[in-house]
């Protein structure tokens, strides 16, 4: 695969299935965006620096890593003002686990949710 993407591979009896980390990130981003209290994806300084250097990501706020065959997902989020921070973060964690597992069949070892800020409703 020569497109410079990272893939998670599963061996099957009749070949292999390769799913890009980008696909995992998009699934995770969509899952967390459906959680009540989600106030948007956040970025980190490292991600912003990488984008300045030309490494664009289709999934702001999500980092997917595979370490020794284990899939780990880090979600960087903002929570809407008025919502319980830990409850919202836990709901996002659960939503990501379920969506990635259900859609890919890949077992997720860890989903780490990093709450970087609070967003306020502009209408209030």
Residue spans of the domains in the chain: they are: 21-119
pLDDT digits (tens, 9 = 90+) for 92-105: 999 999 999 999 99
pLDDT of residue 17: 87
pTM of the model: 0.82
pLDDT digits (tens, 9 = 90+) for 83-93: 999 999 999 99
Residue identified by tokens 């800020």 is 117
Which percentage of the chain shows pLDDT scores above 90? 59
What dotted CATH number matches 21-119? Answer: 3.30.70.1350
């Amino acid at each position: 695969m020569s497109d410079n993407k990272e893939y998670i591979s599963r061996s099957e009896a009749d070949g292999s299935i390769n799913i890009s980390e980008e696909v995992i990130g998009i699934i995770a981003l969509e899952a967390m965006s459906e959680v009540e209290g989600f106030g948007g994806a956040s970025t980190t300084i490292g991600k912003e620096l990488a984008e300045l250097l030309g490494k664009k990501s289709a999934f702001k706020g999500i980092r997917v890593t595979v370490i020794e065959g284990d899939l780990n997902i880090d979600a960087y989020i903002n929570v809407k003002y008025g919502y319980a921070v830990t409850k919202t973060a836990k709901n996002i964690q659960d939503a990501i686990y379920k969506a990635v597992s259900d859609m890919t069949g890949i077992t997720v070892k860890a989903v780490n949710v990093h709450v970087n800020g609070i967003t306020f409703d502009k209408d209030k």
